[in-house]
Amino acid sequence: MSDAPESTVLSRVQGSLGHITLNRPRAINALDLGMIRSIADTLDRWQTDTDVDVVVLDGAGDRGFCAGGDVRGLAEQISSGDPGATATFFRAEYALNARIAEYSTPIVALADGITMGGGIGLAGHAAIRVVTERSKLAMPETRIGFTPDVGGTWLLARSPGRLGEFFGLTGSTMDASDAIYTGFADYFVPSEHLDAVREALETRADPTSPTEIVLLFDETPPPSRLVAARAWIDDAFAADTVAGIVERLRARPEAEASATADLLEELSPTGLAVTLAAVRRARELPDLRAALAQEYGLVLWFAHTQPDLIEGIRAQLIDKDRSPKWRPASIADLAPDVAETALAYAPSAPLW
């Protein structure tokens, strides 16, 4: 077994199975730079190991796979005027996201429990993505005055209808059924069977594929609530602007539509406008790497120029007063070219 510093990532080979476990259960396995580098180093090592022909990626503890990245650390870097550290973190994280998506050995991600932000960047791009009855998936970045990243816009852009805009702007949580419906996951396996899945992947008889193994435990989840909600979501979130989306939501008879309008009016107007544009542009991009490159520019634009990111982290995660003071404060006060400006931002160092 080889461990990252302080064993925040555990890696071991069992038979022909490579097993990587995020091991910060008290923090719901939130990612820091050391963990990202450890996972990347392990994948690099196993890529040339002919004994490893399938990889399982999971998280320690009962609360979740991965709650995301270390946004408190991000706030400290920005506040202390250390943009280099911010760029270093995101470059390493995005390179890992692309590595997982392109890895020649099948990766089975067990997104059990909370899987958000950076956790989506790990699990969402794996070859085989498993959710359970405990899974809670989200890209909640607009809640802190930010925008979805780690390839999240690529996944959101490929969700049915306007669900990408809905989940991107609201940061709402998906259960297992929703995750499969939107394309964020592939299979539903009850959590009580996950140990059996791991064991079967380790002891499988060739040439049984990892997909065939997971299918042995796959069950049909309950219908997604999104099927019934598509009518008002697709109608409202097809509007050209955030203001137009809110206006359409207010005109809908559904209580959920009105509640969604209330939520959007509480979030960072800048984060909403940029996210809407980013998801829609991601639909036109050729691949995940292009989406990650777009996100990299947006992340640095937020980190270097926008006060809402620091304010959102403060209000939600540090002081926890849940009363952020956004700038601008309302959707009506948004500069009409804010999204265009953000998308045109050119980082001093390219991602690739």
Give the residue numbers marked as catalytic. 69, 118, 141, 149
107 touches 128 (CB < 8 A): yes
How far apart, in whole angstroms, are the C-alpha atoms of residue 208 and residue 164?
35
Which residues are within 8 A (CB) of 342 and not within 5 positions of it... i.e. 6 or more apart?
274, 277, 297, 298, 301, 302
265 touches 246 (CB < 8 A): yes
How far apart, in whole angstroms, are the C-alpha atoms of residue 14 and residue 21?
13
Kindly state the DSSP code that residue 68 receives in the 8-state scheme: -
277-310 core/surface letters (b: 16 or more CB in 10 A; e: else): bbbbbbeebeebbebbbbbbbbbbbbbeebebbb
213 touches 197 (CB < 8 A): yes
Q: State the DSSP H helix or E strand holding residue 56, giving kind and residue range, or none if neither.
A: strand 54-59
Q: Which of 102, 139, 100, 140 lies closest to 122, judged by CA?
A: 100
Determine the 3-state secondary structure of 251 from DSSP.
Answer: helix
Which residues are within 8 A (CB) of 82 and not within 5 positions of it... i.e. 6 or more apart?
none
Residue 323 burial class via C-beta count within 10 angstroms: exposed 0-12, middle 13-18, buried 19 and up: exposed
